[in-house]
C-alpha cells in the first residue's frame, strides 16, 4: 500500500487568536527558502505517494512554491492532492495555477457563514468572501471541495449553525469538517473572558450538525468529518486507519517504517539544516491501544479481531465496555463503534477502555 505525504506550510498573514498550529508571519524570501528545504527533504524518500496534503498555516499563500514542490513528488495514478486555503487569500489566479499543477482537492477554512461569529474568531474573511472563494474554486475546475466549520464559538447557537449549514448546502461542496473550538494554552483566547456557549448548548449544536449534514447527504465518517459518498478525505483516513505517512516541515508528524516521529516547531532549524531532525514519539506505534484510539474516531469503529491481532485482550475490552452507558456505543461481538452521543465523550470512553 502506498504511503501518504503531509507537507506543513507554516505561514499565515496574521495569527488567529484561538490557533495553536505552528505558523510564522508570511514573507516571500523565507517562503522561497522554505520551498527549497521541502524539496531537499523530499529526496530522502524514494516513494510513490497516493495522497499529498499541504496543511498549515495558510498553504495557498505559497501557491507558486507548491506548484514547484509538486514537480518533485512522485505520485501514484489518481493520487489525492489537497491544499488548505483561506477564503481571503484564494482567487482565480492561484486556484487555476494549483489545478494546473495537479491539485485536485481544496479545503477551505470557512469556520462560519455568520459575520458576527467570524469576527469573534478574529478571522480575516467575511461570509461573502467565503462563498465567493468556493464558487471560484468550482469555476476553476475543482469538484472536490471541503469546508471547515467551527462549533462552540462565541455567540453561536443551534439556529446560527443551522443557517451556516443551510447556506453551505447551496455551494458545490462535497465534504465538511466540523471542529469544536478548543481553548489552547498560550493563545490570546486563553487569556480572554469569552462568552462561549455552555456545554449543553455545544452538545446540542454538535448533534444538530450531525443530523442536518446527514439530511443533506453528507454522512458522518469520523467524529468531525462528513462527506458525500466517495469524497471522504483519503489522506486523513490514513491517520485514523493506522496507515503510514511521511510528514515534512516544522511540527509535522510521521508514521514511517513502523515508527512515529515528529519535527520541532522551528522554521529556522528546518531551513538551515540539510534534512529535518526528527524525534521519536512513542514505542507503541501500531499497537492495540493506538489502533483502538484512532479507529474509534471513525463511524466504522474497530474490529475485535484486528484489535486482538495487535496484542489487545478481547475479554478485558468487553469487560470495560460494560462500564459504559449503552447509548454511547454499538457492539455486535466483532465491530465496536461509537454513536454521535458517544463521540461527544469519546476521550473519556477511550480512557475507560484503555485503562
DSSP single-letter state for residue 142: -
Instruction: Pick between residue 56 and residue 249 the one whose CB is nearest to ligand SF4.
Output: 56
Q: Can you tell me the distance from the alpha carbon of 116 to that of 120, in angstroms, rounded to the nearest whole number?
A: 6
Nearest distance, CB of residue 328 and ligand SF4, angstroms: 31
Instruction: Pick between residue 98 and residue 317 the one whose CB is nearest to ligand SF4.
Output: 98
Cell numbers found for residue 288: 492495540
Nearest distance, CB of residue 265 and ligand SF4, angstroms: 13
| Residues with Cβ within 8 Å of residue 284, at least 6 apart in sequence | 290
Nearest distance, CB of residue 318 and ligand SF4, angstroms: 41
Nearest distance, CB of residue 354 and ligand SF4, angstroms: 30
| Maximum CA extent, the chain | 58
- Sequence-ordered strand ranges (E) for the chain: 4-9, 11-12, 24-25, 49-56, 75-85, 105-111, 145-151, 175-180, 219-222, 225-227, 245-248, 253-256, 259-263, 278-280, 302-303, 329-331, 335-338
Instruction: Pick between residue 58 and residue 212 the one whose CB is nearest to ligand SF4.
Output: 58
At CA 265, angle to CA 106 and CA 188, rounded to 5? 80
Instruction: Pick between residue 60 and residue 75 the one whose CB is nearest to ligand SF4.
Output: 60
Query: What is the binding site for ligand SF4 (CB under 6 A)?
Result: 12, 15-16, 19, 21, 23, 56-58, 86, 109
Nearest distance, CB of residue 56 and ligand SF4, angstroms: 5
Instruction: Pick between residue 58 and residue 276 the one whose CB is nearest to ligand SF4.
Output: 58
Amino acid at each position: 500500500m502506498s504511503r501518504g505525504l503531509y507537507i506543513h506550510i507554516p505561514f499565515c498573514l496574521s495569527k488567529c487568536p484561538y490557533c495553536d498550529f505552528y505558523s510564522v508571519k508570511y514573507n516571500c524570501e523565507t517562503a522561497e527558502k522554505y520551498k527549497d528545504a521541502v524539496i531537499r527533504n523530499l529526496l530522502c524518500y524514494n516513494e510513490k505517494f497516493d495522497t499529498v496534503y499541504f496543511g498549515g498555516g495558510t498553504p495557498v499563500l505559497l501557491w507558486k512554491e507548491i506548484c514547484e514542490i509538486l514537480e518533485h513528488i512522485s505520485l501514484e495514478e489518481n493520487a489525492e492532492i489537497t491544499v488548505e486555503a483561506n477564503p481571503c487569500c484564494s482567487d482565480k489566479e492561484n486556484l487555476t495555477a494549483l489545478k494546473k499543477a495537479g491539485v485536485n482537492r481544496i479545503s477551505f477554512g470557512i469556520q462560519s457563514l455568520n459575520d458576527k461569529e467570524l469576527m469573534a474568531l478574529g478571522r480575516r474573511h467575511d461570509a461573502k468572501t467565503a462563498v465567493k472563494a468556493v464558487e471560484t474554486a468550482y469555476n476553476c475546475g475543482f469538484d472536490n471541495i471541503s469546508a471547515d466549520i467551527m462549533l462552540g464559538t462565541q455567540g453561536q447557537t443551534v439556529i446560527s449553525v443551522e443557517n451556516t449549514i443551510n447556506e453551505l448546502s447551496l455551494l458545490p461542496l462535497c465534504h465538511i469538517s466540523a471542529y469544536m473550538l478548543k481553548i489552547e494554552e498560550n493563545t490570546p483566547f486563553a487569556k480572554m473572558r469569552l462568552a462561549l456557549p455552555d456545554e449543553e448548548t455545544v452538545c446540542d449544536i454538535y448533534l444538530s450538525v450531525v443530523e442536518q449534514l446527514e439530511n443533506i447527504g453528507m454522512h458522518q465518517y469520523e467524529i468531525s468529518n462528513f462527506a458525500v459518498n466517495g469524497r471522504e478525505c483519503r489522506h486523513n483516513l490514513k491517520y485514523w486507519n493506522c496507515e503510514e505517512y511521511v510528514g515534512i516541515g516544522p511540527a509535522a508528524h510521521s508514521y514511517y517504517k513502523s515508527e512515529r516521529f515528529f519535527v520541532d516547531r522551528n522554521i529556522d532549524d528546518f531551513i538551515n539544516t540539510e534534512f529535518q531532525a526528527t524525534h521519536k514519539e512513542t514505542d507503541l506505534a501500531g499497537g492495540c491501544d493506538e489502533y483502538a484510539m484512532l479507529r474509534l474516531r471513525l463511524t466504522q469503529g474497530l474490529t475485535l479481531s484486528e484489535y486482538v491481532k495487535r496484542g489487545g485482550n478481547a475479554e478485558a475490552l468487553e469487560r470495560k465496555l460494560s462500564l459504559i452507558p449503552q447509548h454511547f456505543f454499538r457492539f455486535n461481538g466483532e465491530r465496536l463503534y461509537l454513536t454521535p452521543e458517544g463521540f461527544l465523550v469519546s476521550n473519556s470512553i477511550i480512557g475507560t477502555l484503555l485503562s
